[in-house]
Structure 1
């Protein structure tokens, strides 16, 4: 039997899918992108014409410069609006917080659902230079109780030199909205060294081995947002 492989998706197809998803939440995205292209391309085209001169060659270079910078401006604006639309669509869903945390890359260690309730309140753990960060999503009261319990467990293992912070996802006072979660974590002050992170991860393996597997669906954010970011990168 011959192996049949699905042909890879083209870049244009990925862009169309990202645009369709964004259009559902941002109806004016088409007009915004058109205005961005005209404004950025027009302004930089004039600058290019002034820099390259008014000869035929200068005119051609100015047009090419205007088109390329206009497209770049469109991609930058589209990337930001697409990311915002993706967050808006999944905000409030179970697993959305875990999905957003997957956007953290080098220098961060994310473990989804280190604690949970039958009502689908969840606490995720992030380890980075700021220390141990417990991120909760769900009912604020139940999540706060979960975080308090997890703080005690992690403090016994991490020791006094490692800060244990907490964040609750939401839009109420004292909470962090899902679209701002990753940015909020990256802005936290660095308190431990990479060597301490490695040692901490090793210590926490014993704690994690005693935990039950969380019956939590995978968040929809990674699939949609990673696809859109790949399309933006080209």
Structure 2
């Protein structure tokens, strides 16, 4: 059986096609919505450019080009948002979903999935970035909070004074829904700078060196999040 191509190895066109295919699974009307958006925005763009000063063929060329640009831009923005919503919907409730969502973090963040887990497959992921150390747990609330507390103590011992944040990803009380996880992490603020970040990562090697390999629980988690991030950034 052929091995699926990683998003990073796909061409931009293939990434768009794959993202569209996955989005259509949970958003079957996406095609009609995008066409309607393109037509409406295109008509607005055409009108805007048509009323600008000009005459003859140049006026019409500018109006047509402006309409096409308005339509494409609006359709791509809407597609990016609905694709992201669809991807989160497909990942919801799947093992390792939080780790997949954290791939959406941009440069300046170092993500380590599944740094700790228990027999019940409660998992803790780690992100190191401007806020310091962020520990993200997913699984049963009380159990995963115990796991988070244990990891918090371990990290505090090797990186004393470093801000350590704990987040439980889920839909329960005091938990962060999957769709809001990345935004919540980003909103934790900037508490460490570049040189401090490097020092923290070096200190954390002491913990990671003592860990056995921890595989992520297997599950049908969409693999296009990374490619979708590139599409949204226009890369």
Residue matched to 2:131: 130
Shift of 1:134: 0.4
Q: What TM-score do the two structures reach when normalised by structure 1? A: 0.88
Shift of 1:14: 3.9
SS state of the match for residue 134, structure 1? strand
The verdict on how the C-alpha distance between 1:81 and 1:47 changes in structure 2, with shifts beyond 3 A counting, is same
> Is 1:42 aligned with 2:46?
no
Residue matched to 1:152: 153
CA contact (8 A) 1:52 1:59 kept: no
Whole-angstrom CA distance in 2 between matches of 1:220 and 1:99: 11
The verdict on how the C-alpha distance between 1:114 and 1:156 changes in structure 2, with shifts beyond 3 A counting, is same
Residue matched to 1:3: none
Residue segments in structure 2 that go unaligned for 5+ positions in a row: none
Give the total of aligned pairs.
227
Shift of 1:127: 0.9
Whole-angstrom CA distance in 1 between matches of 2:109 and 2:38: 36
CA contact (8 A) 1:109 1:127 kept: yes
Shift of 1:77: 0.7
Matches within 5 A, 1:162-201: 162-201=162-201
Matches within 5 A, 1:46-195: 46-159=47-160, 161-195=161-195
CA contact (8 A) 2:137 2:167 kept: yes
Whole-angstrom CA distance in 2 between matches of 1:115 and 1:177: 21
Whole-angstrom CA distance in 2 between matches of 1:171 and 1:112: 20
Shift of 1:148: 0.7
